[in-house]
């Protein structure tokens, strides 16, 4: 545990290196920086909770508001905030800010990797490699013939910063881009890295147009936040509205796509393939059907990993600390009404 005596107390429950913490101190001499890598609230001494004014955390939050009488702001180390619903942090009268804006580029690259992998029959290719037998020309022709991306339509559920970056890359491959978002307007407030996610020529839909949107999709990408409105959104009826043989990529949260319905759609051929990075149950248990489901690519919730995470996080946190100390509105404010 390292601390610098000063007037405003910042607590990180994460594990940033000393150079990161030292740079934050250098940029903000009026900040008392404490870091305690914690897995539960009990890992933080009571006296540290009592003096904390800025909490930087993933999921470790105080057990009650009484434990943090001086708390004035919570900076999350996650893009989503759904994991805090039902905790003290959700109900405390302090602003929540997310880490959104750090992962759009690597996440969009991940999605394009999966779209290319599905289109070029990567799950089937991996099975052939594991089998260790060279297939005949007829087997290769019938099994490994790629599907086109150029001229195909990709529908992106959740057309925010990440969705727009996916749309930009998909457009470079000659795909038609559809975006589905809660409203055709934009949320109020300022966001970190928003300039990096440029608008594209996507045709926009709203959630009440979901089935019409799905009917046009050759490829479906799910990247919206998990909220009361999006939970179970991609259900059997929605999957049934997809084009026959569409492919699905999910990089959002478990709970948005009905996994049983998706498996049934895969088994029936309604959905021809899927790439899944998020699941209802994480870690995905050993022996779970997704590990071996044909025509499915599985990754362990890594789509949002950013190679320059520490540098970008420092820029975001430092900018927000500066705004906080100056009494200005923070970046990436979570709207508790909407859930993200």
Direct distance between the N- and C-terminal alpha carbons of the chain, in angstroms, rounded to an integer: 31
- Structural element, H or E, at residue 176: strand 176-180
Q: Is 56 a catalytic residue?
A: no
Tokens of 54: 């800025």
Catalytic position from the list 127, 139, 282, 329? 282
Q: How far apart are CA 44 and CA 286, in angstroms?
A: 33
Dihedral angle over CA of 142, 144, 145, 147, nearest 10: 130
Q: How far apart are CA 304 and CA 109, in angstroms?
A: 10
CB within 8 A of 223, min separation 6: which ones? 107, 111, 156, 157, 158, 160, 162, 163, 166, 251, 252
Residue 186 buriedness (CB in 10 A; 0-12 / 13-18 / 19+): exposed
- Structural element, H or E, at residue 250: strand 246-250
| Sheet with 31-35, side-by-side order of all strands | 31-35, 8-12, 54-57, 73-76, 96-97
Q: How far apart are CA 255 and CA 48, in angstroms?
A: 35
Catalytic position from the list 301, 323, 336, 338? 301
In degrees, rounded to 5, the angle at the alpha carbon of residue 292 between the alpha carbons of residues 290 and 298 is 55
Q: Is 282 a catalytic residue?
A: yes
Catalytic position from the list 121, 164, 253, 270? 253
Q: Is 328 a catalytic residue?
A: no
Residues 323-332 as b/e (b if ≥16 CB within 10 A, e otherwise) read: bbeeeeebbb
Catalytic residues: 253, 282, 301
């Amino acid at each position: 545990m390292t601390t610098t005596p000063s007037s405003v107390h910042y607590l990180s429950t994460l594990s940033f290196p000393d150079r990161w913490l030292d740079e934050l101190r250098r940029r903000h001499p009026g900040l008392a920086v404490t870091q305690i890598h914690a897995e539960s609230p009990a890992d933080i001494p009571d006296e540290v909770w009592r003096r904390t004014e800025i909490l930087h955390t993933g999921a470790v939050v105080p057990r009650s508001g009484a434990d943090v009488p001086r708390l004035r702001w919570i900076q999350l180390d996650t893009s989503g905030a759904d994991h805090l619903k039902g905790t003290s942090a959700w109900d405390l009268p302090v602003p929540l800010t997310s880490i959104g804006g750090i992962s759009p580029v690597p996440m969009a690259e991940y999605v394009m990797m999966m779209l290319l992998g599905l289109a070029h029959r990567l799950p089937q290719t991996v099975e052939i490699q594991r089998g260790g037998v060279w297939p005949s020309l007829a087997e290769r022709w019938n099994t490994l013939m790629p599907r086109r991306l150029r001229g195909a339509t990709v529908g992106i559920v959740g057309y925010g910063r990440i969705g727009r970056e996916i749309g930009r890359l998909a457009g470079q491959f000659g795909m038609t881009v559809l975006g589905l978002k809660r409203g055709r307007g934009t949320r109020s407030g300022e966001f970190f890295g928003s300039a990096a996610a440029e608008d594209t020529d996507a045709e926009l839909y709203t959630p009440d147009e979901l089935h019409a949107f799905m009917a046009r999709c050759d490829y479906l990408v799910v990247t919206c936040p998990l909220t009361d409105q999006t939970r179970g959104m991609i259900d059997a009826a929605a999957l049934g509205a997809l084009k026959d043989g569409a492919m699905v990529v999910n990089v959002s949260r478990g709970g948005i796509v009905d996994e049983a319905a998706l498996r049934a759609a895969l088994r029936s051929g309604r959905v021809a393939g899927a790439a899944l990075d998020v699941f209802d149950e994480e870690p995905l248990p050993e022996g779970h059907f997704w590990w071996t489901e044909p025509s499915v690519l599985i990754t362990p919730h890594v789509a949002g990993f950013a190679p320059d995470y520490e540098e970008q996080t420092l820029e975001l946190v430092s900018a927000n600390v500066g705004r906080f100390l100056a009494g200005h509105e923070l970046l990436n404010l979570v709207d508790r009404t909407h859930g993200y």
